[in-house]
Amino acid sequence: MSRYRGPRVRICRRLGNLPGLTRKNSKKQAPAGEHGQQSRKPSEYALRLEEKQKLRFNYGLNEKQLRKYIKTAKKVPGSTGLILLQILEMRLDNIIFRLGISPTIPAARQLVNHGHILINNKSLSICSYQCKPGDTITIKNKPSSRALVETYLNFPGLANIPSHLELDKEKLTGKVNGIIEREWVALELNELLVIEYYSRQ
């Protein structure tokens, strides 16, 4: 299954606020679809599927990538749901978004793909790169790159930068100081339902 490229606001109407996917808000209150809000109670499977879809669309993953991350999270001792969120939050495209260098995760992915981002002073075009504590993120010293990021910084996607990151707006550099804590994850999600969804497959 390829990455989703369809209407983003439609997804937000169905799944709720997804800060990584889009900043737009719909004026319509009912969920997307011909029949709008269903009156009957959703099944347990439907609830687990919805949480999984939130994770997929917010972080811009396809099904194969998400399965791989869950396998990795299960191998690490500790809460599998929390470890999964930490792995996703430490992706390069998400770190750029959380620093405020881009308004959404798709915009961050474009910055990386177009070569505007340097990691530890090395050019990198892999969006799924796992950042580690101590990594520094800088903008390529080109007028076009700096102008693009400065425009984005004036309209950040989220109001606050998480405690494990720091940003120097003058030098346009960011630093990863540690691993994110659960309360700083911007997405409203029950990660245990996602683990349940895959454990029952």
More confident site: 41 or 142: 142
Question: Could you give the domains of the chain?
Answer: 8-87+187-199 (1.10.1050.10), 91-178 (3.10.290.10)
Residue type, 69: Y
**In sequence order, what DSSP letters do the residues of 43-87 get, joined into one string?**
PHHHHHHHHHHHHHHHHT--HHHHHHHHHHHHHSSS-HHHHHHHH
Helix (H) or strand (E) holding 149: helix 143-153
pLDDT grade, residue 50 (50/70/90)? confident
Q: What is the pLDDT of residues 92-145, one digit of tens each?
A: 999 998 888 888 888 888 899 988 899 998 888 888 899 999 999 999 888 888
Tell me the three state secondary structure of residue 168: strand
As a whole number of angstroms, the distance between CA 94 and CA 162 comes to 12
Q: What is the pLDDT of residues 167-195, one digit of tens each?
A: 888 888 889 998 888 888 878 888 888 88
Question: What is the pTM (predicted TM-score) of this model?
Answer: 0.83
End-to-end CA gap in the chain:
17
Beta bridge partners of 165: 176
**Per the structure block, which two tokens stand in for 33?**
């679809």
